[in-house]
């Protein structure tokens, strides 16, 4: 499709949720010699590549991409049998990714991991403290390289060593020095015996994120509890394709509990400059959850919520963001309720629910009837402000 015929002419579209299929040597090529055989690496098992971490299998090394090497979109569960060579190079390499972005009409992308878990939760299973910290820092170094080599068009979110609050603060400071624009967090450190995110022990992290203008991201499936919905929500009698569909749909809703816990904990009250993003969860359910949180506030015993100075819905509008992609019905009303500054656009490239190959055409359907200035906020301005992304003029503006 020619650029001039795409929807949203004159807009530098920023895609707020994509994923990288980590190159098989991402860790081994950067690790110190003493750790080179223990960091994540790919090993052939029964003729199939698998990720191993310190001798423990993390599962098959599938590319987590539904775009094949010829650029065709795969439907269903067939992609789960692919190797990285079956996937389009845009899943794991910078130049092919930029080429696909240009073809789709997307200027910049925010990038999340696969191997570490969507919130970096899998690294918490490592018992060796030096090794698990190295897994995080090597990933962040590689992502800083990607951002620079992409000409500031790919913006990976940094992982944190969430099992150690002091180390998380230090890594956040280092992330800022690397030039990364946000941090990606697991939603449930309490599952590993640590303080939950509402406890004041975490305040130093929220302070440094606020001071450095680094938004905190909670991607769906960012903990063992939330990701278990994917496996447990479908009934066993369903086929693999149906299980994938049900599991994916239910996975979006796991962020409702994250949103509720964050707001009711008082975390946002104590840190009014902190920005929080709910990633790949959609937006249609958020007004209902916010209304229910507002309602339940009045159902509590007197004094139970004196630590909040505003209604839960007000905290969302002041400090939180949701990510919109496939929804086509009632989007305009949802934007009215959540606030025009509180929604980002995403495609989830190249995962199973992604909008590829007609990303902007699908977005145009959902945004039909939404004022042009609001469309620009959702597609460009909100993300540009949140991630401090400079936007070059598009040809129509520079002519």
Using DSSP, state whether 18 is helix, strand or coil: strand
**Residue ranges of the chain whose pLDDT lies below 70:** 1-5, 225-231, 394-399
pLDDT at residue 247 in the model: 85
How is the chain split among helix, strand and coil, in percent rounded to 5?
45, 15, 40
pLDDT at 395: 63
- Nearest alpha-carbon partner for 13 in 236, 398, 346, 276: 346
DSSP letter string, 158-216: EE--TT-HHHHHHHHHHHHHHT---EE--S-GGGGTSPPTTSGGGHHHHHHHHHTT--E
Give me the pLDDT at residue 2, please: 47
pLDDT recorded at residue 1: 40
Q: Is residue 288 part of a domain?
A: yes
The share of the chain scoring above pLDDT 70, in percent, equals 95
In a domain, 47, yes or no: no
pLDDT of residue 73: 96
Residue 253 lies in a domain: yes
Helix axes 255-265, 312-319, angle to 10 degrees: 100
How does strand 154-156 pair with strand 106-112? parallel
pLDDT on residue 3: 47
Q: Can the peptide bond before residue 395 be classed as cis, meaning omega within 30 degrees of 0?
A: no
Residue pair 88/17 in contact by the 8 Å Cβ criterion: no
The residue range of the domain holding 299 is 7-37+92-389
- The reported pLDDT for the residue numbered 393 is 77
Domain annotation covers residue 74: no
Whether residue 1 lies inside any domain: the answer is no
Residues in a beta bridge with 48: 45
Contacts 24+ apart (CB under 8 A), 98-101: 98/150, 98/151, 98/153, 98/154, 100/71, 100/349, 101/15, 101/153
Assigned domain for 24 exists: yes
Rounded Cα–Cα distance for residues 53 and 58 (Å):
7
Q: How many structural domains comprise the chain?
A: 1
Domain CATH number, residue 271:
3.20.20.140
Q: Give a yes or no: residue 53 inside a domain.
A: no
**pLDDT in the model for residue 398:** 45
Task: Classify 98 as helix, strand or coil.
Answer: helix
Query: Maximum Cα–Cα distance for the chain, whole Å?
Result: 63
- Measured over the CA atoms of residue 220, residue 225, residue 227 and residue 228, the dihedral's sign is negative
Q: Is 361 among the domain residues?
A: yes
């Amino acid at each position: 499709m020619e650029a001039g015929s795409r929807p949203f002419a004159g807009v530098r579209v920023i895609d707020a949720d994509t994923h990288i299929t980590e190159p098989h040597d991402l860790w081994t090529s950067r690790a110190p010699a003493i750790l080179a055989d223990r960091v994540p690496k790919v090993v052939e098992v029964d003729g199939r590549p698998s990720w191993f971490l310190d001798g423990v299998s993390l599962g098959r090394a599938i590319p987590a991409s539904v775009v094949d090497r010829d650029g065709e979109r795969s439907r269903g569960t067939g992609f789960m049998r692919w190797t990285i060579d079956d996937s389009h190079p845009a899943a794991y390499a910078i130049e092919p990714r930029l080429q696909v972005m240009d073809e789709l009409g997307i200027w910049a992308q925010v990038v999340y991991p696969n191997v570490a878990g969507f919130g970096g939760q899998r690294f918490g299973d490592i018992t060796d403290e030096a090794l698990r910290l190295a897994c995080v820092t090597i990933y962040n170094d590689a992502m800083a390289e990607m951002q620079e080599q992409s000409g500031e068009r790919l913006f990976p979110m940094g992982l944190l060593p969430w099992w150690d609050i002091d180390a998380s603060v230090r890594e956040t400071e280092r992330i800022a020095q690397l030039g990364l624009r946000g941090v990606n967090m697991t939603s449930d450190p309490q599952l590993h015996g640590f303080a939950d995110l509402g406890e004041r022990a975490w305040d130093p992290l929220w302070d440094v994120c606020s001071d450095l203008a680094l938004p905190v991201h909670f991607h769906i499936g960012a903990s063992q509890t939330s990701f278990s919905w994917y496996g447990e929500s479908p009934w066993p009698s369903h086929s693999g394709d149906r299980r994938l569909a049900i599991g994916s749909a239910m996975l979006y809703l796991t962020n409702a509990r994250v949103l509720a816990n964050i707001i009711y904990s008082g975390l946002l009250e104590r840190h009014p400059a902190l920005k929080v993003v709910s990633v790949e969860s959609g937006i249609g359910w958020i007004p209902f959850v916010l209304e229910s949180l507002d309602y339940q506030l009045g159902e509590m015993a007197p004094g139970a919520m004196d630590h909040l100075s505003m209604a839960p819905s007000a905290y969302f509008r002041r400090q939180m963001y949701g990510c919109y992609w496939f929804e086509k019905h009632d989007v305009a009303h949802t934007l009215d309720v959540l606030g025009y500054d509180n929604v980002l656009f995403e495609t989830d490239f190249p995962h199973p629910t992604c909008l590829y190959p007609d990303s902007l055409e699908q977005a145009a359907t959902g945004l039909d009837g939404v004022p042009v200035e609001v469309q620009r906020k959702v597609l460009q301005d909100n993300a540009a402000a949140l991630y401090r992304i400079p936007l070059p003029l598009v040809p129509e503006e520079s002519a």
